């Protein structure tokens, strides 16, 4: 199977979810024995990107892949030469599948406070242009969740939620402790207020509930006075090598993200990373997150409220039978949720004769 694989990142940086998925899918295609012609280059490095696209165009002069799979950029497609490449592939009759990862431009109430800037207007306009372009020049649009589909009218869609690399740890193999971990952004939208207030409640009731909070250095300013709390351990770490020992030390994973229309359909790669380490979870009841946790019985979901979050953390850590069941389910849930499973889905969809050019 020969695949043309278009991405909008430079491989090697695993500091964000948007960089994890393209690289994991690439490795999965290779592991399945596919021949992969890869385009990698960031949009903001215009000349580097232009040269990379031109090299792909020259390759297409003498090669015909079985299909083309595209991992979208974090925002809109900025350069005309990128659109021309996708259009050319589609016009050649090569099935094009495009993973459309984000829709932030349609949720001003979540991402924009105050008056919308000129730059934000331009990004929204280009993003809507992308939608129209993709309707005409792709055969299949992949979305991360079913809930996201209601915001678009693409003619043909399928769903590719994030995946994991496999089981790295099993919490049943060590004595259960009381340490929780959160890895991710720090802000109101990420649920930091809910998280910190919940642990203030937990640690004010006579028990000790340690929290390891892993964030980027700039996140420290948001934590403010909480930095002096004896139960909080703030760590700056990223990448599998740095995060592995922190996950190994943890007993419970947390996902406190604020419940809103956008987060209801979003699904974080971080949840799958938690799964790899066999961690039971407590998460706010955003729609797709709640579906995931309940489908595999991985832990407890709570309201977008510090008190309820605290109750659920205490409940799962103090109930050994509940904890053991969720830990066992987490260890088993990796099966069927691997990156190679997602790659097999794409190959079946686009390489199995189902992606013929539509009239």
Q: Which tens digit of pLDDT belongs to each residue from 308-358?
A: 999 999 999 999 999 999 999 999 999 999 999 999 999 999 997 433 333
DSSP state for residue 306 in the 8-state scheme: H
Per-residue burial over 280-313, b if 16 or more Cβ lie within 10 Å, else e, is bbbbbbbbbbbbbbeebbbbbbbebebebbbbbb
The pLDDT mean for the chain works out to 93
State what percent of residues in the chain have pLDDT above 90. Answer: 82
Q: How many CB atoms lie within 10 A of CB 125?
A: 12
What is the per-residue pLDDT for 30? 97
Return d(Cα 39, Cα 146) in angstroms, integer: 28
Residues 290, 265: contact at Cβ < 8 Å?
no
pLDDT-derived band at 79 (thresholds 50, 70, 90) equals very high
State the average pLDDT over residues 264-277.
Answer: 94
Of 85-94, 103-112, 258-267, 299-308, the range with the lowest mean pLDDT is 103-112
Ordered strands of the 252-255 beta sheet: 232-235, 211-214, 180-183, 252-255, 281-284, 299-302
What is the per-residue pLDDT for 358? 35
Give the pair of three-digit tokens for residue 303.
Answer: 């309201």
What is the per-residue pLDDT for 13? 60
Compute CA distances 344 → 37, 170, 233, 276, 338, whole Å: 17, 26, 40, 20, 10
What is the per-residue pLDDT for 18? 67
Domain at 2-163+338-350, CATH from 3.20.20.10, 3.40.50.150, 3.40.50.2000, 3.40.50.720: 3.40.50.2000
State the average pLDDT over residues 82-99.
Answer: 98
CATH superfamily label, 171-333: Glycogen Phosphorylase B; (3.40.50.2000)
Q: Which tens digit of pLDDT belongs to each residue from 187-214?
A: 999 999 999 999 999 999 788 999 999 9
- As a whole number of Å, the CA-based R_g of the chain is 22
pLDDT at 132 over 60: yes
| Domains in the chain: boundaries | 2-163+338-350, 171-333
Residues 315, 158: contact at Cβ < 8 Å?
no
pLDDT at 9 over 60: yes
What is the per-residue pLDDT for 355? 37
């Amino acid at each position: 199977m020969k695949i043309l694989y278009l991405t909008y990142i430079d491989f090697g940086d695993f500091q964000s979810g948007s960089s994890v998925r393209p690289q994991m899918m690439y490795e999965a295609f290779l592991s399945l024995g596919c021949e992969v012609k890869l385009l990698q280059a960031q949009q903001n490095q215009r000349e580097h990107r232009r040269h990379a696209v031109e090299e792909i165009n020259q390759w297409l002069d003498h090669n015909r892949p079985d299909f083309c799979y595209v991992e979208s950029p974090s925002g809109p497609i900025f350069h005309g030469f990128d659109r021309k490449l996708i259009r050319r592939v589609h016009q050649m009759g090569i099935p094009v599948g495009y993973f459309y990862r984000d829709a932030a431009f349609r949720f001003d109430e979540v991402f924009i406070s105050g008056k919308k800037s000129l730059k934000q207007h331009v990004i929204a306009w280009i993003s809507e242009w992308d939608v129209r372009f993709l309707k005409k020049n792709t055969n299949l649009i992949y979305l991360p969740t079913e809930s996201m589909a209601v915001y678009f009218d693409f003619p043909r869609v399928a769903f590719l939620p994030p995946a994991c690399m496999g089981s790295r740890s099993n919490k049943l193999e060590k004595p259960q402790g009381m340490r929780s971990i959160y890895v991710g952004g720090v802000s109101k939208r990420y649920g930091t207020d809910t998280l910190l207030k919940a642990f203030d409640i937990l640690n004010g009731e006579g028990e000790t509930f340690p929290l390891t909070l892993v964030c980027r250095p700039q996140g420290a300013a948001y934590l403010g006075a909480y930095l002096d709390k004896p139960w909080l351990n703030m760590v700056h770490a990223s990448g599998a090598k740095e995060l592995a020992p922190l996950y190994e030390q943890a007993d419970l994973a947390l996902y406190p993200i604020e419940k809103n229309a956008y987060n209801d359909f979003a699904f974080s790669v971080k949840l799958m990373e938690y799964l790899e380490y066999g961690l039971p979870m407590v998460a706010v009841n955003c729609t797709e997150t709640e579906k995931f946790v309940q489908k595999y019985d991985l832990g407890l979901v709570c309201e977008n409220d510090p008190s309820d979050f605290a109750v659920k953390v205490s409940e799962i850590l103090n109930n050994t039978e509940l904890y053991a069941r969720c830990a066992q389910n987490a260890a088993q849930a990796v099966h069927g949720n691997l990156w190679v499973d997602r790659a097999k889905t794409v190959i079946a969809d686009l390489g199995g004769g189902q992606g013929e050019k539509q009239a």
